[in-house]
Structure formats: C-alpha cells, structure tokens
Amino acid sequence: MKISKIFARLIFTVLILSPSSCFCEWKIESADLRRAIQNNTKPPEKLMPSHELPPRTNDDGVIRRVKLPEGVKAVAVTFDMCELDTTTTGCDMAVMNLLRERGIPATLFMGGKWMRTHSRRVKEIMTEGGLFEIGNHNWSHGNCALLSEEGLKAQILWTQAEYELLREESGVDDIPEVPTLFRLPYGRNNDRALRVIAGLGLRVIQWDVAAEAGDNSDIKRAKRNAKKVAAMTKPGSILLFHANLVPKGTVNLLREVVNILDGEGYEFVKVSELLTMGEAETVRDGYFSRPGDNHALDKKFGTDGTGRKARFTGKP
Ligand SMILES: [Zn+2]
C-alpha cells in the first residue's frame, strides 16, 4: 500500500474513533425558520407545574451582572428564545451549533409558548444539559410591569409547566425539575412583579451588555459590532443575545464576540454558576443600556406585551 493511502486511512480512523468527533451538527431545517410553524394561541396542555419552588423570602431585585473577586475573568452568554401570542418565531440552530462546537456553556431564557412551538428542538437541547441551562421568559412575552398579578403568575407557571412536560417527554433526568432563573420580557418590571416572581421561587436575571444592535448579517459589520460588545464586557458581565431568528445575523456577531473574549482570557459560564462566583449587582427597575430606555416598548406590543389587544388574564 502506498504511504499516502496508509496515511489517509489513518486519518480516517482517527476521525471516526476520536471522542472529539462526537460533535455532530444539528441539521438546520425549514421548521426552524421564523413563522414556519403555525401559530397556536391555546393555553398549554398543563397549566400548573407539579414541582413548586420554595418561595424566596426577599426579592433580590433585577440582577444585571456579578461582581467577581479580583483577577477572576468569567462572563455568561445568554439567549432569549421567545415569541408573542400573535406570531411564531424561529429557533437559531446556527447559534446552537456554534455554542456546541466551541463548547461554550450558555443560559437560554425560553418563553413557554416558544418551547411548545419548537418542542422537538427544546427536547434536543435538554439532552445537552451539561452545556445549556434553561430559564423562564414568560409564556408569551407578557410585560411584567403591565400584567395583572394573576396574569403574571399564569405567564410564569404555564412556562414552568411546559418545561416540565418537555423534560418528561425528553426522558432526561439530569437537568433541574423546573427553571429557577427568570428573564423579564422587554427588561420591564415593577416592585409588585419582583415580589410575585420571588414568591414563585425564581431569581430575575437581566444583562449589562445588550449585544445585538441592528443587523449583523454582514460579516464586516458583525466584526465592528463585536469589538463594541467586547469593549462593554467586563468580568462578571451577562451578555444578552437572541436565538429566535428575530435579530438578524446573531451567529456572526456571536462568533466574533466569542473569539475576542476567548483571546482576552475570559471563561464562559452559565448564569447559575456565575452567581456562585461573586456578588450579584442589582437594580430595582430593569433597562437595556440606560435607565428608562425600555419604557417606550410598553405601548408597542399589544395591551400587555403579548401582542394581543385583550388583556392576558391567565384564564383559559
Ligand atoms: Zn424576549
């Protein structure tokens, strides 16, 4: 046998047998695209989770970042995966594959209705619980500053119940029984919302770096934006991205941001881990980049953020 043939066979064997070859890409399908799956406005099959979290006696405010001990360089990348009552969005498998390929742990804040739309993908994601943790992002993006107390409770509990249902169906038992972290749609809250969320046992996680600014489909633009994102990032930062194909070109931006932060010696951790590494820095009123910059969104997405004209009451 020719040397080159032996060499080729050797490479082939190494690729097939080596453990690093077990990354297998999740194939992007048309059902992953935005609005590809028909909208379903019905309440979830199960309205209440069977697992109840112990109430948190104090609300912890809105966590924007974590103050880490001197010299510790860790950040958390987070992704919102959400849709309104009135439409469906996508599941950004290119983002998911990039995170898996690079072994970057991430926290995924999923809307309950979005989980039902993309249930097959959620169950796949659940099988990689070592890399991904799932947080609660309300049922249909209800605005926590505008919902009634009953409406807010239903938005949260329906989502916990949907997660439980999919966890059961996935057959995975090494992930938490229900999410313990919560992300505010539109970053909006008030004191009552913080009390209700804490009463249901969840901690509110926001971000100090809103990463996506406009369209990142163009690689050059994504590279420029990534430099700005990296410049805003500090040890203990929580970065906000989306993985629902609503902002365009997120995967390009993410790749560049990860490359820069990796080069600067940052370690990527899930939010739950970041919280154990230092002291949470909080505010009372969530915002994107400056206090009050999200209040204008109150009037844009229906009566209470869900896209509907009628109030969301939580009564099926
Ligand atoms: Zn969202």
pLDDT in tens, 189-215: 999 999 999 999 999 999 999 999 889
Q: What is the reported pLDDT for 58?
A: 85
Q: How far is the CA of 109 from the centre of ligand 1 (A)?
A: 8
CA of 15 to the centre of ligand 1 (A): 40
What is the 84 CA–ligand 1 centroid distance (Å)? 9
Q: How far is the CA of 183 from the centre of ligand 1 (A)?
A: 8
What's the gap in Å between 156 CA and the centre of ligand 1? 13
pLDDT attached to residue 18: 46
Output the pLDDT for position 57: 87
Would you state the pLDDT for residue 316? 73
User: pLDDT tens digits, residue range 51-95?
Assistant: 999 999 888 899 999 999 999 999 999 999 999 999 999 999 999
- Say if pTM beats, i.e. exceeds, 0.85: yes
- Identify the pLDDT of residue 22: 60
Measured in angstroms, how far is the CA atom of residue 185 from the centroid of ligand 1? 5
- Ligand 1 mean position, distance from CA 272 (Å): 19
| CA–centroid distance, residue 287 to ligand 1 (Å) | 13
Alpha carbon of 288 to ligand 1 centroid (Å): 12
Interval between CA 20 and ligand 1 midpoint (Å): 34
* CA 25 to ligand 1 center in whole angstroms: 26
Q: Are strands 279-283 and 62-67 parallel, antiparallel or unpaired?
A: antiparallel
Q: How far is the CA of 92 from the centre of ligand 1 (A)?
A: 14
Q: Which residues in the chain come in under a pLDDT of 50? A: 1, 12-21
Distance 189 CA to ligand 1 centre (A): 14
Cα(9) to ligand 1 centroid in Å equals 49
- What spacing in Å lies between the alpha carbon of 19 and ligand 1's midpoint? 36
CA of 80 to the centre of ligand 1 (A): 5
CA 143–ligand 1 middle distance (angstroms): 10
* 81 alpha carbon – ligand 1 mean position (Å): 6
Domain residue extents for the chain: 62-299
Q: How far is the CA of 110 from the centre of ligand 1 (A)?
A: 8
Task: Write down the pLDDT at residue 213.
Answer: 87
Residue type present at position 102: R
Centroid of ligand 1 to alpha carbon of 207 (angstroms)? 12
- How remote is the CA of residue 1 from the centroid of ligand 1, in Å? 59
Q: What is the pLDDT of residue 15?
A: 47
Q: Is 62-299 in CATH node 3.20.20.370?
A: yes
Q: Say what the pLDDT of residue 20 is.
A: 45
